[in-house]
Structure 1
Amino acid sequence: MAYKAVDSTSKKLIQIDISSDTVCPWCFVGKKNLEKAISLVNEQYNFEVRWHPFFLNPNAPKEGIKKSDYYKEKFGASKSELILSRMKEVFRGLGFEYDTAGLTKHLDSHRLISFAAGQGYGKQNELVEELFQNYFVQGKYIGDNQVLLDAANKVGIEGAAELINDPSKGLKEVNEELQTYSSHITGVPHFLKKAPEPIVKSKALLKTRVLPGFHYGNGTFIGDDEVQTNGWWKEKKGGKKRTLRGATVASMKSSKPPKPNPFETIWSPGKKTLMKEYEESTKASKFIDGRLGEG
């Protein structure tokens, strides 16, 4: 689904920035459900969706391992079976069969996605869809150069071969995006909205869930432990502690409300995200910086 401004004089433009990992199944689910939500109001608004990198597992082997083996190693046999069963159920609800084949090192897919943005965010979105389909539905190794090139050629990304075959190209751009959009978050998908007016004015958009099991309130897509009102996070009494709750780590640590920001978080995983995954994701910047020095 391409998001293009077709009549900027009569429709307001809503920019949505998504931090995502190409091997995160919930990012694919979030994309499909966001598309459903957008379809409800596309006569009222134009949308520009931009994709930014996040690394759940920057140390994944390039040759790839089966998703099922990875889940067993990370969560244990019994829990991994429940996870895979749930994912298959969710994907069937979207009209897909969840494939449990290869998990790959995904840096190259993020390099390609960042590169595609230079040829238009519509093209970038088509590429993201193709890579998600390749990985989650067709079981392909999206760390493989030929798989990446085939995906790029299918959606018409020019110059992809040169980028893919040079592992140093695009690393700086990926690192900059990682620092700008993903360094402060604990999980994905993470959705940011930039628009001239609150998205709550489009009631229909709030009726379609980004992820199963989540609800909405106060004009924002939220999870059970995430509430945002007037640009600041509500306080919650929990036991003997008073904690700030929300998706933005920087806001949670701050003693004062953040400065006005044109972006508003409309959905992001909350504190239930495994800290192990967060710790792995924070290694990504140093990991990419290391790659910058490679010849």
Structure 2
Amino acid sequence: MKVDIWSDIACPWCFIGKRRFESGLRDFAHADDVEITWHSYQLDPSLPEHFDGTEIEYLSDRKGMPREQVKQMIGHVREQAAAEGLHYDFDKLVVANSMRGHHLLHLAARHGVADAVKEALLSAHFEHGVDIGDPAQLVEIGVQHGLDATEVRAALDDPAVRSDVEQDFAQARASGIQGVPFFVIDEKFGVSGAQPAQTFTGALEQAWQASHPLVMQEAEGAVCGPDGC
């Protein structure tokens, strides 16, 4: 069974959603039969390679949100992340365009390490203050997960890789996806947002039952029916 996940690296709820989905998947009886594909999405494609300011300043200045509201929102997100064992550090966070990070993810998918690299990128951005727009940092993350440094460096600005990334964007638009994280289970069931783990488990079970209907086998034996036993 396939699960397609649209997500941005620069999205705090995407990391929380990843954790909650993983928890829900662990409680799913057929977890070993689930194939996960990560898809790219950008919340702010217009963001320059680097924003000279904090996350609070970015959300306040570029999104027009009152600063006090931003602080409260960030505090709530930090609490939700902590409940999932994540340690967000918004004071150290480097606001940067995530496009090159998505290039790295597509290269990682070709080599079968997309989930590990996705985890590393999210953790680097939200927990460790790593600049996800810096090619040197991205090469280091790729190498840590078995990728060739030269291949990573080339992929970060490869037009062919960018075309693959933009195809994910286009597929999201065609599917009506307007926010992330967004999970599509077995190409039929959509789950929007960082839902509780139980919601993911239930959606997985529903999708599994829809694609694996109960097969009735006839066999002799004593039964009861409308006319008696």
1:31 aligns with 2:51: no
Structure having the higher helix fraction is: 2
- Greater Rg over alpha carbons, structure: 2
1:79 aligns with 2:69: yes
1:126 aligns with 2:116: yes
1:57 aligns with 2:41: no
Q: Which residue of 2 aligns with 1:67?
A: 55
Q: Which residue of 2 aligns with 1:162?
A: 154
Alpha carbons 1:108, 1:167 under 8 Å: kept: no
Q: Which residue of 1 aligns with 2:132?
A: 142
The superposition leaves residues 265-294 of structure 1 with CA deviations (integer Å, 9 ceiling, x where unpaired) of xxxxxxxxxxxxxxxxxxxxxxxxxxxxxx
2:183 to 181, 188, 191: 191
Q: Which residue of 1 aligns with 2:102?
A: 110
Letter in 2 for 1:66: T
**Which ranges in structure 1 are unaligned for 5 or more consecutive residues?**
1-13, 200-208, 222-230, 232-261, 263-295
Letter in 1 for 2:166: N
**Cα displacement (A) at 1:180:** 2.0
Give the TM-score normalised by the residue count of structure 1. Answer: 0.60
Q: How does 1:219-238 map to 2 (within 5 A)?
A: 220=203
**Which ranges in structure 2 are unaligned for 5 or more consecutive residues?**
205-209, 212-229
Alpha carbons 1:53, 1:110 under 8 Å: kept: yes
Structure having the higher strand fraction is: 1
Q: 2 CA distance for matches of 1:175 and 1:140? A: 24
Q: How does 1:181-220 map to 2 (within 5 A)?
A: 181-183=172-174, 184-194=176-186, 210-211=194-195, 216=199, 220=203
**Cα displacement (A) at 1:44:** 5.5
Letter in 1 for 2:57: D
Secondary structure of the 1:51 match is strand
Q: 1 CA distance for matches of 2:181 and 2:31? A: 25
Alpha carbons 1:23, 1:135 under 8 Å: kept: yes
Give the TM-score normalised by the residue count of structure 2. Answer: 0.76
The superposition leaves residues 96-120 of structure 1 with CA deviations (integer Å, 9 ceiling, x where unpaired) of 2211121111111111112221112
Secondary structure of the 1:102 match is coil
**Cα displacement (A) at 1:211:** 2.7
Secondary structure of the 1:191 match is strand
The superposition leaves residues 53-92 of structure 1 with CA deviations (integer Å, 9 ceiling, x where unpaired) of 1111111121234212112222211210111110111121
Work out the percentage of aligned pairs sharing the same amino acid: 24
**Cα displacement (A) at 1:210:** 4.2
| C-alpha RMSD of the superposition | 2.8
Alpha carbons 1:17, 1:191 under 8 Å: kept: yes
For these two proteins, the number of residue pairs brought into alignment is: 195
Q: Which residue of 2 aligns with 1:171?
A: 162
Q: 2 CA distance for matches of 1:29 and 1:44? A: 20
Q: 1 CA distance for matches of 2:29 and 2:140? A: 31
The superposition leaves residues 189-232 of structure 1 with CA deviations (integer Å, 9 ceiling, x where unpaired) of 1100117xx99xxxxxxxxx9435x9859x648xxxxxxxxx9x
Q: 2 CA distance for matches of 1:162 and 1:44? A: 35
Higher relative contact order (CA 8 A, sep 6+): 2
